[in-house]
Structure 1
């Protein structure tokens, strides 16, 4: 189990049987009376439990934060290499996990934060089980996957043309039509998507997977070499989820929610373009809602501007406490 170098009163790794399989949880916090926040990572399959040191320390003053390596991801995938996720399985996993956390911490409801793919899972879940969530925070909020790619591509083209970067323009043109009329996560689309992401990374429009990211991972107190093996398997493991994600569109239903909705968006995030979530947010009807656009922050919003992100969290926390 993890060494508690941070001297946190709550600092624990555990495997819990959820929906028939052993699933990994990482708990960090300072006070059991604080609200419990469940962090839903991106991907599908890209665990963020390994990044906690880079952004989370202050959060733990106001929340007990629980990271869950989802089915098909990280340490849960390592334990269960043949038990692969579908959206229905993940929703059931999430429901059972929340029951476990409510009992463990003696809470009526759990705060859900969804990042990127986690914002898809979280948004679907709170519609299905609104009674389980105290409130929802979307970060790198996905509204419509096809629109995401169209808007992100157009922004990239605009930036390349503004800078007169002929080399990058040629690379972008060599990709051909993108993203097309429908997103199907097969080899051809992925090759194009990877090229677009690399160019977006060059212009700070998308997350860069560079040395600094890997250094953060290697320094994590919970890092194991098996995590790298799991990372290399995530695309195959999450094939069913990619099919769901390709067609995902929050606008298929009315923007009506029974739980408070908060969005914290990176003002420089063009991987899940913040302008799309901003526009959708205006349509949302919810018991309470708030939006925070963090300047100079990209897709990894909480890592790019940890202090400003924490200020937004504090304000959300205060609003919800005052409401009670």
Structure 2
């Protein structure tokens, strides 16, 4: 694979994780930088093919590692019969972190979870806070049922304001949505597809069109087998979907043992930012901060890459500042006065 930016760290590899070979893609400029593990969305929608669109500047301050999860991308192609459950994915994630800690000589990693990755990441940091320096949730999911209810109401509001009778008829044709419980069966997926297309039309959600595929084709990692993997993700992730349908952070403790940062798109109504914003107010964590990116949707990194980088820079600086302040506490008084941070 070409190292187009001449990065010091540019590795694509398969690593034996939890009994199967899983794909990792590393990019970075310094071994001294913190290691960020990027947890992609879906379940099953590997984002390693899109790094060139939004990530170049991230690599100045982090070593960024993309992991094609079990049931996604190149890992799915390599292991078509080794399909995920939430228990397997949490163990996979633990082992990926152990591998990266050893490889880069780090005590902890930064976790960046996007969409479904924010679900997996949040569950993991509750279970293994000792492994994580801090957590960043982008397009953070709080409750799947609430997501769909709020997203449906918002697109209906836009359609009615526009006097778009044709779209309103399409939306109302699906009947009650999503119901009191989400089951990822054919009927729900049919209804969800209609809602997503209308959200895309009104710039309220992610549109999966030709532009997305052109971006993927341009990736140095791209192979036609990646398209085949994408076509298989619904079936491959059926057991994870059953977990996701019931997911609701509001029913759990809001106590976190690691710093928590949310980066939300100000026009994201696929995982509506207003839900995460409301939930975030009650979080208790060692540090916490919420950022809303204007004119950004569910894939906020691609919509506003410059602003997202500015936020990551601020988070990274804040975390280093905290570390420096902790280190100062251990210095003799005479040295504290002479130390400049």
Please tell me the TM-score bracket, short chain as reference.
Answer: over 0.9
Matched, 1:59 2:90: no
Which residue pairs with 1:215 in the alignment? 214
Q: Deviations over 1:154-199 (max 9, x none)?
A: 0001000111111111111111111111100000000000000000
Rg larger in structure = 2
Which residue pairs with 1:140 in the alignment? 139
Which residue pairs with 1:261 in the alignment? 260
Counterparts of 1:181 and 1:85 in 2: how far apart (Å)? 25
Counterparts of 1:184 and 1:111 in 2: how far apart (Å)? 32
Which residue pairs with 2:248 in the alignment? 249
Which residue pairs with 2:175 in the alignment? 176
Which residue pairs with 1:308 in the alignment? 307
Alignment of 1:10-89 (within 5 A): 10-89=9-88
SS in structure 2 of the partner of residue 137 of structure 1: strand
SS in structure 1 of the partner of residue 25 of structure 2: strand
Counterparts of 1:256 and 1:144 in 2: how far apart (Å)? 17
Which residue pairs with 2:99 in the alignment? 100
Counterparts of 1:127 and 1:254 in 2: how far apart (Å)? 10
Counterparts of 1:173 and 1:257 in 2: how far apart (Å)? 40
Counterparts of 1:254 and 1:110 in 2: how far apart (Å)? 23
Q: Deviations over 1:46-79 (max 9, x none)?
A: 0000000110000000000000000000000000
Q: Deviations over 1:230-250 (max 9, x none)?
A: 000000000000000000001
Counterparts of 1:255 and 1:204 in 2: how far apart (Å)? 31
Which residue pairs with 1:299 in the alignment? 298
Counterparts of 2:124 and 2:251 in 1: how far apart (Å)? 15
Which residue pairs with 1:281 in the alignment? 280
Gaps of 5+ in 1: none
Report the CA distance between 1:211 and its aligned residue: 1.4
Counterparts of 2:259 and 2:241 in 1: how far apart (Å)? 28
Counterparts of 1:115 and 1:82 in 2: how far apart (Å)? 25
SS in structure 2 of the partner of residue 127 of structure 1: helix
Matched, 1:155 2:154: yes
Report the CA distance between 1:251 and its aligned residue: 1.4
Q: Deviations over 1:214-264 (max 9, x none)?
A: 110000010011100000000000000000000000112111100000000
Give the TM-score, by structure 2 length: 0.94
Which residue pairs with 1:9 in the alignment? 8
Q: Which runs of 4+ in 1 moved over 4 A?
A: none
Q: Deviations over 1:266-312 (max 9, x none)?
A: 00000000000000100100000011000000000000000000000
Counterparts of 2:20 and 2:120 in 1: how far apart (Å)? 19
Counterparts of 1:46 and 1:211 in 2: how far apart (Å)? 16
Which residue pairs with 2:331 in the alignment? none
Counterparts of 1:106 and 1:252 in 2: how far apart (Å)? 37
Report the CA distance between 1:5 and its aligned residue: 1.5
SS in structure 2 of the partner of residue 134 of structure 1: strand
Report the CA distance between 1:45 and its aligned residue: 0.1
Report the CA distance between 1:201 and its aligned residue: 0.3
Report the CA distance between 1:15 and its aligned residue: 0.3
Give the TM-score, by structure 1 length: 0.99
